[in-house]
Structure 1
Amino acid sequence: MNVNLETPEEDDMASKASGWDFLDAVVRPGSPIYDRTFSLVGQYFATYTGRMFEVVGRDTGTLDPDRLLCEDIVATSMLSVTVPPRAAIEILITREHEIRSLLRDVPTNVPLSDAPDVTLGRDSPLWRLWDLLVGLPGVGPTTASKLLAHKRSSLVPIQDSYVMLHLAADVAARPVHTDARVAGSFWHYLRAWLQTEGTLDALEQLRADALRNANTTASRLLAEVSALRLLDVAMWTAVEAERQSAPTMAVD
């Protein structure tokens, strides 16, 4: 599904159907790409290394919800990113206390759909931690989001660069926060969509449809994964399928 990546003019914003065109297409039964999406989600949890993202360190008893650890860095590698050595030193040693102090104040049991403004606001511990991480050498939004998603899988969405390009026009068309400092932020945008009628039920239907043809290993992982991580996978597989099918242009 192609999404116009140009930022809409102010007059055009009101004409957008919902500002959630791509998200709805991914998870709503009956959309042109829904059947392909749930099939790809099932394949993802059967074959891709990313299926182990939420599993890494979970059953060892070593994970501390309020610290970024070696296990969190390893988990990001399941999603094909590498935390640079200098950044790893900052995370694990130099700024470990600062990171721990901020993580301690980020709720562990609040899903994004229920997160209050105080949790997502510009001055919140979560946002301050985000600023800290993206300020580390070699760490951008994608890597930072994957580190935080491993600590708070139901609260922090992954910001894959290709997915964000697909969502660019929709996000720009739907500013969902009255504070200009955070208007259009991805967290607020996704929270507003998750709160729309039927969206959480649609995600669970996507899970059920993906489970129908999944093997034993994939079924276990699919059943346990957070709804937000399920959405991450659905968006990524939909975008990746389009990228793989796009014709390439020859260059002389």
Structure 2
Amino acid sequence: MADYAESEWHRQWPAVIVDCDTNRARPLLESYYGLRPNGMPRYTGAHFEIVTALNEDPNTLAPADFVAVSLLSVNVSKEAVIRLLADDTAADITRLLRAIPADVAIVDAPSDLLATASPAGQLWEHLRFGRDGVGPTTTSKLLAAKRPQLLPIWDSFVEQATGLGTEDYWRKFQSVLIADDRRIWNWLTELKSEISTVPKVVSPLRILDVVLWMLVDAGEL
């Protein structure tokens, strides 16, 4: 398990998360998953999981995954798309994805499954190997598209909200979410169920990401 003391994340993470403050979190989620007067989503990221689901194979990267991450404000370069879909690279990606359970949530995962040397850690490095614009943010969003219950998104918004860089951040997220008999994880699950506009396929891990993102975007930290 990552060395991430409760006193540390209690101090660094937003109070709305630490305190499981539904009154503050609910309007952020209602806004993110709300619609404009013309019926279009207020935030394109609200359709991230819906577009991801267009690739029904959890063990491949496909065009739908690249489109899905573009809804989260990152673009996979054409050079990277060619590299990642090439036969040899695609075979390696599939091999590693098959070694990462598709139905395990981060709170149920053995710590080793989230370690740097794990298949997930190897896939992280594999996706970034080409030096063609697939940085840590894009990599994390591609991995979240494939393992939405297990691998949390990292970007500058998450870093600003939590103080976490990319080093061992999966296991640090896990530390937070399993603390106190999964208090925050259970709250995120309940929070999701209270908002009818949140698609059923959205994981509690993504709910956390949205709340963190919205807090930063709204300047509410």
Query: Normalising by the residue count of structure 2, what TM-score does the alignment of the two structures yield?
Result: 0.83
Asked if the contact 1:120/1:187 (under 8 Å) is kept, the reply is yes
What is the rounded CA distance, in whole Å, between the counterparts of 2:18 and 2:174 in structure 1? 17
* Percent identical: 36
Instruction: Look up the match of 2:39.
Output: none
The alignment partner of 1:196 has SS state of helix
- 1:18–1:208: structure 2 CA closer, same or farther, 3 Å change rule? farther
Task: Identify which of 47, 53, 61 aligns with 1:52.
Answer: 47
Cα offset, 1:86, TM superposition:
0.8
Instruction: Look up the match of 2:15.
Output: 25
Cα offset, 1:204, TM superposition:
2.7
Asked if the contact 2:16/2:24 (under 8 Å) is kept, the reply is no
Ranked by relative contact order (alpha carbons within 8 Å, sequence separation 6 or more), the top structure is 1
Asked if the contact 2:10/2:18 (under 8 Å) is kept, the reply is no
- Establish whether residue 232 from structure 1 lines up as the match of residue 209 from structure 2: yes
Instruction: Look up the match of 2:72.
Output: 79
What is the rounded CA distance, in whole Å, between the counterparts of 1:96 and 1:237 in structure 2? 34
What is the rounded CA distance, in whole Å, between the counterparts of 1:139 and 1:187 in structure 2? 19
Instruction: Look up the match of 2:141.
Output: 146
Segments of structure 1 that go 5 or more residues without pairing to the other structure are 1-12, 173-181, 247-252
Instruction: Look up the match of 1:104.
Output: 98
Cα offset, 1:23, TM superposition:
3.9
Cα offset, 1:57, TM superposition:
4.6
What is the rounded CA distance, in whole Å, between the counterparts of 2:7 and 2:100 in structure 1? 34
What is the rounded CA distance, in whole Å, between the counterparts of 1:133 and 1:100 in structure 2? 12
Cα offset, 1:74, TM superposition:
0.6
Segments of structure 2 that go 5 or more residues without pairing to the other structure are 35-41
What is the rounded CA distance, in whole Å, between the counterparts of 1:203 and 1:227 in structure 2? 5
The alignment partner of 1:138 has SS state of coil
Matches within 5 A, 1:77-226: 77-94=70-87, 95-136=89-130, 137-168=132-163, 171=164, 185-197=168-180, 198-209=183-194, 211=195, 218-219=197-198, 221=199, 223-226=200-203
What is the rounded CA distance, in whole Å, between the counterparts of 2:11 and 2:189 in structure 1? 19
Cα offset, 1:30, TM superposition:
7.0
Instruction: Look up the match of 1:39.
Output: 27
What is the rounded CA distance, in whole Å, between the counterparts of 1:204 and 1:22 in structure 2? 22
Asked if the contact 1:76/1:143 (under 8 Å) is kept, the reply is yes
One-letter code aligned to 2:168:
S
The alignment partner of 1:203 has SS state of helix
Asked if the contact 1:37/1:237 (under 8 Å) is kept, the reply is no
Instruction: Look up the match of 1:65.
Output: 58
The one-character-per-residue Cα deviations of 1:59-115 (angstroms, maximum 9, x if unpaired) are x5x421111111100100111110011111111115111111111111101111111
The alignment partner of 2:51 has SS state of coil
Asked if the contact 2:49/2:68 (under 8 Å) is kept, the reply is yes
Aligned length: 207
One-letter code aligned to 1:199:
I
The alignment partner of 2:72 has SS state of coil
- 1:30–1:64: structure 2 CA closer, same or farther, 3 Å change rule? closer
What is the rounded CA distance, in whole Å, between the counterparts of 1:187 and 1:113 in structure 2? 11
Instruction: Look up the match of 1:6.
Output: none
Asked if the contact 2:9/2:176 (under 8 Å) is kept, the reply is no
Cα offset, 1:166, TM superposition:
3.0
